[in-house]
Structure 1
């Protein structure tokens, strides 16, 4: 099943982008597993869209010549490249990407939670942006795995490939998801941020993208 995911990802990613300056290639992933209801899905997509039109983030994306893609994920064979690689050279590019995120239709419903497959799928997309200086995967979710491969093995594969994984843990109570992300999802050079319920996700994703692209917090 993992091989199938790689083949699908390679097909959807299409041909490599023309070689040009690129600071960070960032895959933003959205959890659409069974635990995410319609309102929570909309909080994620609207939160992402709002972040992508935030003036401070737009400035960082343009100055850093960032390239972004958006992936929806849930079960073992359910990963979708919803927005292909898009380089942000101007404010118009950022506005277009924000609109695409806001209008994005949900890819899957009633499916399991398999973050390892989301990582493997995202890793396969970087062949198209090999010229970028940094490769980063942003994994967000509100649950621990109930399907799929070992998440630590996927995280280790990312580390070997020189890819950073950061995370947003969406909690309902306590820090169980945060602790799982810290121990099994993020890479040694990565970080995890906590959203206390889905309603905190919009502000958290804004802070997270800013940190990923500017590294102003070290």
Structure 2
């Protein structure tokens, strides 16, 4: 009888302690990974339009205001991808809370030399790499992978297998389809890339449209699912 009473008192004390314990708030609002396609279908000029378009979008006044409005800031990382084993870091995890931080992220991306140019499009492997990279992200409220490309997967497993095998719980994947007009890439991205809450696909009508498209995409990602649903 006494032993039962002691156990009940211990349970009550533990329950009270859990109720009084402070809840640790996330360190930032958003952990955002940029994944840029550098497969063989992309020539040197197109590569620069993609890389420099992303760097320029980060310096856009509206994008900067959206980043700075995020509670705790935003953590960015970036990598290039092409074949099964051809992924290369452009930017390690970098927490940004001010304009100097945004400028630094933009400069790091703009100054990165192309890593690969002769491999196919292994988009499933690219997504798997992003999921593993996300495990090292700061503790943020939302986690998003932003993947861009100008082709459909033609090597290795596809997006569905990546989502099934690599632990994408709590990760949103948005896509930017670089499709000049025949709809093949856009249709592939719409059907197979979106994953998680509020996921969406943005469309660039060729590489010349990439900077404008990634700016639109960034604003939607920064404002979150509520903005996507309202549009």
TM range, smaller chain: 0.7 to 0.9
RMSD over equivalenced CA pairs, Å: 1.6
> Contact 2:28–2:138 at 8 Å: present in 1 too?
no
What pairs with 1:1-218 in structure 2 (closer than 5 Å)? 21-64=27-70, 65-129=73-137, 131-157=139-165, 160-189=168-197, 190-215=199-224, 216-218=227-229
Q: Larger relative CO (CA 8 A, sep 6+): 1 or 2?
A: 1
* CA shift digits 1:149-207 (9 cap, x unpaired): 12212134567522100000001332111111111111153100111111111100000
> Contact 1:170–1:201 at 8 Å: present in 2 too?
yes
> Please, which runs of 5 or more residues in structure 2 have no aligned partner?
1-24
TM-score (norm 2): 0.82
2:28 is paired with a residue whose SS is coil
Q: How many residues are treated as equivalent by the alignment? A: 200
> Contact 2:38–2:47 at 8 Å: present in 1 too?
yes
Higher mean Cα deviation, 130-139 or 108-117? 130-139
Q: Which has the larger radius of gyration?
A: 2
CA–CA separation in structure 2 for the residues paired with 1:97 and 1:140: 18
CA–CA separation in structure 1 for the residues paired with 2:156 and 2:181: 25
Q: Structure 1 residues 214 and 131, CA, compared in 2 at 3 Å: closer, same or farther?
A: same
Q: Which residue of 2 aligns with 1:5?
A: none
Q: Structure 1 residues 185 and 158, CA, compared in 2 at 3 Å: closer, same or farther?
A: farther
> Contact 1:155–1:165 at 8 Å: present in 2 too?
no
CA–CA separation in structure 1 for the residues paired with 2:163 and 2:190: 11
CA–CA separation in structure 1 for the residues paired with 2:154 and 2:26: 40
1:165 is paired with a residue whose SS is strand
* CA shift digits 1:54-77 (9 cap, x unpaired): 111112212211111111000000
Q: Any runs of at least 4 consecutive aligned residues in structure 1 with deviations exceeding 2 A, and if so which? A: 155-160, 215-218
CA–CA separation in structure 2 for the residues paired with 1:141 and 1:126: 20
